[in-house]
Structure 1
């Protein structure tokens, strides 16, 4: 059974690396063609950034694979033998959180490299080392606090109920919903400074858009995201009357009022179609599937690993295999998500009134330019990784003439060099 588990994870890693290699080869071919949406210089720059990110992802995948083998071969057993506590609940918390922190520390150099080498090189990073250390410390503290509560909850369920995996799913699904509700508040408290939108005219126009879709919000806020990153973004967070509209200050700076309203109209399109709830439901299906599998693992697996069937072992195995299940589920979630994006674009352009399609198209083009997003991707990479349709497809749906594109590229022909 242990070899079956390792084989499944190995296939996942190989598939992940293969899609990255194909994406790298595709982009290296595409960047030699005529520039699309971006200037010639930015087209090459965006391509090089995407390739650099994929190469980092490949290295990260190798390290994750080594860590997986290490955990399965001796790591979990080592923690089990090393941590000795009389309180069983505390024992489970310490072991699981030790696993989480060790993995986080190993991935920390990759996080640092991405932000202070790659992002800095391509002009995205605006954060200082001091700010990054502060953010990292807060993230670790929150992980320890909230993670410990979650581990305690699952431990209690496992030791109380026969169908522990079903009740654990209910518990974790509730946690997911709670996180979605509290995310804007947590981000405002610990990371971003949010200030109410002071532009009364813009605020009124945004509220008019919200009224058209029945969106009730606790307010429109500006995030000082530019202190960390130069990229443009916005998000709606929370549920019920606690929902917030949060605009990055970079978005306010770069988009015109009509373009900004088109982007918000797109987000309101998601609300109008209940996409937030659909996405949460999909996550629920994935969680149920995951708990169903790991709630019925054969005892032979634990015997081969040389460990007993303890709650903390089950939780660690769940965490180790979460990326695998996410990779398997992503194509399904991606297809539905991309469909929802087209629908949200349609609603967003309609909410903008006459010329709404043009304003949304202009906004999408600016987002590509400001975020230096390479506008082309390998079809296989899109299938496994994209939650949004390629921007060229979105522009075509909005009636924008994107010109003639190389048919070979659209079919995924590339030079698979890295």
Structure 2
């Protein structure tokens, strides 16, 4: 059984790297042709950035594979044999969080390189070293605290129920929903400074848009995201009365009012169509499959690993194999998500009134320019990685003459 798991992970790595290589080859081929949506110089710059990102992805995939082999060969047993607590719950929490801490430390060099070398080279990174260290430490502490609570919950479930995998799934699914509800508040508390939108005219127009779709929120806020990154973004977060609209200050700076309203109209389209609930249901389906598989592993696997079937081992195996199951599920989730994006584009253009599709198209073009998104991709890469349709296809659907 151990060999089967390693083989499946190896196949995932090979396919993942192959898809990245196909994407790199495709970009290198089309970047020397006529520029699309961007000026020739920006087209080449976006291509160079995409290729660099994909090379980094290959590097991290390969080293994650080495870490996977190391964990399966001796890493898990090392933690098991060198962490001691009399209390079983504390022991399980310590071993799982030890695994999480080691992985977090191993990922730091890649995180540093991506932000302070790659993103800095292409003009994205605005963060200082001090701010990055602060963000990393806050994330680390929050992971320790909330991660330990989640591990404790799963330990108690595994120890108490025969069908523990089903109850664990329900528990984790509830945690996912809770995170979606609390994310905006936690982000505002520890990372971004959120201030109410001061532009009264824009605020009134945004609230008018929300009224058209029945979207109720606790307010429209501006995030000081530019202190970390120059990319443009916006998000709607939370559920019920906790919902809020958050605009990056970079988005307000770069888009006109009509373009901004078109982008928000698109996001409101997701709300009107219940896409957030569809996405949560898809995540729930993936979690159900994961717990169903790892809740019914044969005892022979644990014998091959030389470790008894303890709750911490099940949790570590789940985390180790999560990228594989995510990669397998991504094409299905991507198909649904891309369909939802087209529908949201359609509604966003309608909410914008006459010429709404043009304003949305102009906003999409600016997002491509400012985020240095290469507008063309290999079909295989789109199939495995894209949650949004390629921007060229979105513009065609809006009836824009490219």
Give me the TM-score of the superposition, normalised by structure 2. Answer: 1.00
Give the Cα separation in 2 of the matches to 1:28 and 1:100: 37
Give the Cα separation in 1 of the matches to 2:48 and 2:250: 23
Corresponding residue of 1:223: 223
1:215-294 correspondence to structure 2 within 5 Å = 215-294=215-294
Give the Cα separation in 2 of the matches to 1:342 and 1:55: 30
Give the Cα separation in 1 of the matches to 2:369 and 2:161: 54
Give the Cα separation in 1 of the matches to 2:186 and 2:226: 18
**3-state secondary structure, aligned to 2:124:** coil
Corresponding residue of 2:116: 116
Corresponding residue of 1:92: 92
Q: CA deviation at 1:90?
A: 0.6
Give the Cα separation in 2 of the matches to 1:30 and 1:19: 17
Q: CA deviation at 1:79?
A: 0.4
Give the Cα separation in 2 of the matches to 1:305 and 1:148: 24
Corresponding residue of 1:162: 162
Q: CA deviation at 1:104?
A: 1.1
Corresponding residue of 2:33: 33
Q: CA deviation at 1:237?
A: 0.1
Corresponding residue of 2:385: 385
Q: Could you report, residue by residue, the CA deviation over 1:281-329 in whole angstroms, capped at 9, with x for unpaired residues?
A: 0000000000000000000000011111000000000000110000000
Q: CA deviation at 1:8?
A: 0.3
Q: CA deviation at 1:140?
A: 0.2
Corresponding residue of 2:397: 397
**3-state secondary structure, aligned to 1:127:** coil
**3-state secondary structure, aligned to 2:126:** coil
Structure 1 ranges of 4+ moved more than 3 A: none
Corresponding residue of 2:135: 135
1:4-403 correspondence to structure 2 within 5 Å = 4-402=4-402
Give the Cα separation in 2 of the matches to 1:229 and 1:215: 29
- Which blocks of at least 5 consecutive residues in structure 2 are unaligned? none
**3-state secondary structure, aligned to 2:376:** coil
Give me the TM-score of the superposition, normalised by structure 1. Answer: 0.96
| Structure of greater relative contact order (alpha carbons < 8 Å, 6+ residues apart) | 1
Instruction: Provide the aligned C-alpha RMSD in A.
Output: 0.4
Q: CA deviation at 1:162?
A: 0.6
**3-state secondary structure, aligned to 2:357:** helix
**3-state secondary structure, aligned to 1:342:** helix
Corresponding residue of 1:409: none
Q: CA deviation at 1:160?
A: 0.4
Give the Cα separation in 1 of the matches to 2:50 and 2:233: 19
Q: CA deviation at 1:30?
A: 1.0
Q: Could you report, residue by residue, the CA deviation over 1:229-256 in whole angstroms, capped at 9, with x for unpaired residues?
A: 0000000000011100000000000000
Q: Could you report, residue by residue, the CA deviation over 1:17-41 in whole angstroms, capped at 9, with x for unpaired residues?
A: 0010000000000111110001111
**3-state secondary structure, aligned to 2:360:** helix
Give the Cα separation in 2 of the matches to 1:80 and 1:201: 60
Q: Could you report, residue by residue, the CA deviation over 1:44-102 in whole angstroms, capped at 9, with x for unpaired residues?
A: 00000000001011111111000000111111011000001101101011100010110
Give the Cα separation in 2 of the matches to 1:108 and 1:166: 34
Q: CA deviation at 1:349?
A: 0.3
**3-state secondary structure, aligned to 2:160:** coil
**3-state secondary structure, aligned to 1:159:** helix
Q: CA deviation at 1:153?
A: 0.2
Q: Could you report, residue by residue, the CA deviation over 1:362-395 in whole angstroms, capped at 9, with x for unpaired residues?
A: 0000000011100000000000000000000000
Give the Cα separation in 1 of the matches to 2:397 and 2:5: 43
Q: Could you report, residue by residue, the CA deviation over 1:129-159 in whole angstroms, capped at 9, with x for unpaired residues?
A: 0000000000000000000000000000000
Give the Cα separation in 1 of the matches to 2:344 and 2:61: 33
- Which blocks of at least 5 consecutive residues in structure 1 are unaligned? 403-418
